[in-house]
A = this chain, B = another copy of it.
C-alpha cells in the first residue's frame, strides 16, 4: 500500500465526501426527544439507507439488520471477501442524533438543512456522530479504490440508537453475532472530541455514567397551598431536599462510599495532562459558561476527565401558582471514573433519595441506564500506532487525553471483542453536541479522514500476524464456509 497515493486521492475527492456528509445530516434521524416521531422514524430509515449506499459505493458489502419492529436498523458492512488469516478491526459509529427542541428557537440555522458554510457543516449530528463515523467509511473507500491489499478485515457496525440506549446493538452483541469475526485486533470509535482545535489526541479514558429519571407521587391532585400548606407534605419540597442531600455546598457528591473506589491516576499521566496548554478563559468563553469550577488540587482537565460528577438534568413539578403539586419529576446522572461501579452507585442513590419520603409517598425510577468508565493504559502496544496515524493525519504531534463523556457501547464492544478500543475523536468541544447549533469543522472532517487512512496503514504493520486462538479459528472456519 502506498499511503501517499491514498492521501492524495482523499484530498482530490474531498468535496464529494462533504456532499456525502451533508446528505447524511439532512436525514433527521432523531432517536430521542423528537417532537415529530413520524418524521424522526423516516429520518432513521433515510440515514441507514444512505449509509448502506455509501459503504457499497466504497467497495464494502453492506446491509441493514432489523432486530424487531421497535428497533432502529443496524448497518453492518464488511469486505466482500475477507481474508480469514487476518484479524478484524471493528469500526463502530452511530447515525442517530439527539432531538433539536433545546429549544428549536435557539438554533440559528435549520438543524437538518445540511448547510456547509464558513468552514463548517452545520446541523444536528454533523459532529455527533455522522461526520466522525464517515471518516472511516471514506478512508476505507479510498484505500480500496487505490487497490490496496487490506491488512485487516474491516467490519463496520453502525447503529441508530446510541442516543437512546443502544438496544439493537446490545441485542446484536448479546446474541454473539460478532463472534464469527474474531479474533479482533482493535475496535475503532470516532465519537468524541480531540483535545483542541489543532491538537489531535487519542482518548484513553471515558467517564462512565449512571442515569435515572425519578418521580415522586403525593396527593391525588394538586392542592391549594392555603388549605393544605404545612399539613400535606409537598412533593416539590421533598424532591428538592432529597436531591440536595446528594451534593454538598462545594459540589461534592454526598453518597456513602462514592469516592472510595476511585483509582489514583498515575503520576506520569497526571504529568502529561499538566503539560497540556489550556487557555481556561477561552475555554470558558467558548462554552458560554459564566465561570468554571474544580475541586481543590485538581486542574481543570483532571476535574473533567478523572473526577466524577452529579448533575441534575431535569426538574419539573407543579405550576407557578399557589399549589401543592400531586407529583414532580427529575432526571440526574453521575459521571463515573475508574473503578467506580455504576450498579453500586445507582443502588446508593436510590436508597438515599427514598429516605426523604413520608408514609404513602412513592418515588419511582425510570429510564435507568448505566455504563462503566473506560480506560486504556497509555503503554498499551496499540497506542503508538494510533498516535502515529494522528501524527500523519493532522501533521502535528498528538497527545493522549481522556474524555468527560460516556460512550456506553464502548464497554460492550470491548467485552464482545476482547480487544482494545481506540477512541479517535475528531470533534471539538465547541461543536455543540446535544444543544442548539451543532456543527462539524470541514477541516476536522478532512484531517479525520486522513487519520483514518493512516490508521489502516499502521494496522498493516502492527502487530505481526498472529494465529487466531483455537475457538475463534473454528468460528472463522464456519463463517468462511457459509460465505464461500
Contacts and interface: CB of A to CB of B under 8 A. Distances in A.
A461 to B, nearest CB: 33
A322 interface: yes
A40 to B, nearest CB: 15
A59 interface: no
A228 B434 CA distance: 12
Contacts of A163: 321
A333 B318 CA distance: 13
Interface string A161-183: 00100000000000000000000
A319 B323 contact: no
A333 B328 contact: no
A397 interface: no
A297 interface: no
Interface in A219-235: 219-234
A433 B221 CA distance: 11
B229 A311 contact: yes
Nearest to A367: B320
Interface stretch (A61-69, A302-310, A409-417, A447-455): A302-310
A314 B313 contact: no
**Which size bracket describes the interface of A in this complex?**
35 or more
B232 A321 contact: no
Given A240-B312, A311-B229, A435-B221, A32 B335 contact: no
A312 B236 contact: yes
Contact of A213 (B218, B320, B359): B320
B231 A358 contact: no
Contacts of A237: 247, 251, 310-312
A26 B476 CA distance: 77
Nearest to A211: B322
A313 B359 CA distance: 21
Contacts of A383: none
Contacts of A245: 244
Contacts of A323: 102, 313, 434-435
| Top 7 A-B pairs, shortest CB-CB distance | A226-B405, A290-B360, A220-B288, A244-B244, A236-B312, A229-B309, A230-B309
21 contacts: A33-B319, A33-B321, A223-B287, A228-B304, A229-B404, A230-B307, A230-B335, A231-B304, A232-B287, A232-B293, A234-B312, A290-B358, A293-B358, A312-B317, A313-B325, A314-B317, A314-B319, A314-B321, A318-B331, A321-B434, A323-B434
Given A209-B226, A224-B435, A314-B319, 8 more contacts: A221-B436, A223-B435, A229-B304, A229-B404, A291-B361, A313-B318, A314-B318, A315-B316
